[in-house]
Structure formats: structure tokens, C-alpha cells
Amino acid sequence: MQNNLCESQTKINLMRAFAGECQSRQRYYQAALIAQQQNYVGLERMFRFTAEQEERHAKQFFEKLKECAGETIEIQATYPASVFSDLGELLDASAKEEYHEFSEVYPEFSSVAKQEGFTDIASEFDMIAKIEESHHKRFDYYLKLWKEDMLLRSESSDELWMCLNCGHIHKGSEPPRECPVCGAQQGYFIREAEAPFTDCNMLN
């Protein structure tokens, strides 16, 4: 049986989720600015890409509160003060935040929503938890590269690197100091396999 959303714990959980997503989005935008200042454009784009997805999650949760429109909803929650300037610390904090979200927070919200009879909201929490898991893996992947100093280096001399500024592809164990086509700095390069849309070639 479905309860009245405006008198449920799920209403409060939706507001907590909304607040959490807004903050994740802002934290990743700030991390992107730090990466940009340090000339790690690949990491800047990765943080922005993820921030845009958090913005969409916030919208999804906020819209679920439509039937309680006009109410002021009180929540109690904790949020991380991950104010770092070191990119390794930012990646580590982001990976941990995502882990907490997908393994604890959203499964709990989903189970409460199910108990309260809001199956569509429960499935929203479940689906977004899966996305947060992929965010966790993304941050963890870059954290590992960062820690091992392999972000712009490879064991293989056949590694393909893409310049995010002009699309130039370079083959080698590391990207060039400067892109030979557009002059962008080394930090503009990412592994070709990490670039969105590159698998389009698979259709040919």
C-alpha cells in the first residue's frame, strides 16, 4: 500500500538525496577547477563530466518531491568537507564519497521507500546507486593512475593518447609535451580508450 509521500520518511530521504547530489556536483566542479589550474585537463574534464551527471541526479530526486511542493523539509545529515588542493586527495575523497553513497545511503533509502510502498522511488534510488558505483570505479581508476604516477605514462609503447583540444592521436608510452597539431600542453592528453565516443570506429 502506498502512503502519503508528504508524511513519509521517503520524503525526507529524497530531500537528503537532493542535498547530497547538489553538493557532489559542486565539489566535483571545484575539483575540476583545481585540476584545470594544475594543467591536468583530462582530470578537469572527468570531474566536469561526473558533476553534470550529479546535477541530473539532483533534478531527478527534486522532481519526485513535486506533490509536497511548497513545504519546507527539515533534514539531518552529514556531508564531507573534502576541501583539498591535492588532486590525489580529491580523487581519494571522491571515490570514498561515491562508495558510501552506493553501498550504504541509497540502498537504505531504497529499502525504506519499498517498505513505505513507493516502488518507483525505490527503483530510482537503486538505479542511481548503480551509477554512483560507476562513479566510484572511475575515481578509483584515476586515483590508482595518480598514485602510481601513470596518469600520463604507460607500460606500453603502443599506447594511444588523444589530445582533448584537437583530437590528435599520439602513439607511445607517454603523450608529447606539446600537441604537434594544436600546441596544447601534455595535460590535455588522455588514453584514447578513456575518451567518450571513440568506439564509433567499431561500426566500420
* Residue with Cβ nearer Fe ion (128 or 195): 128
Burial class (CB in 10 A: 0-12, 13-18, 19+), 107: middle
Stretch that binds Fe ion, among 3-11, 35-43, 48-56, 191-199 (CB under 5 A): 48-56
The DSSP output letter for 83 is: -
Residues present in the chain in total? 204
Size of the site for Fe ion (CB under 5 A): 6
User: Across the chain, which distance is largest between two alpha carbons, in Å?
Assistant: 64
**Grid coordinates in use for 174?**
607517454
**Grid coordinates in use for 5?**
509521500
CB 50 within 8 A of CB 28: yes
Among 44, 92, 124, 132, binds Fe ion (CB under 5 A): 132
Among 27, 45, 64, 135, binds Fe ion (CB under 5 A): 135
Among 16, 27, 45, 57, binds Fe ion (CB under 5 A): 57
Among 11, 13, 54, 125, binds Fe ion (CB under 5 A): 54
Residues 150-169 within binding reach of Fe ion (CB under 5 A) = none
Residues 86-125 within binding reach of Fe ion (CB under 5 A) = 98
From the centroid of its chain, how far is CA 77? Answer: 20
Give me the residues that bind Fe ion (CB under 5 A), please: 21, 54, 57, 98, 132, 135
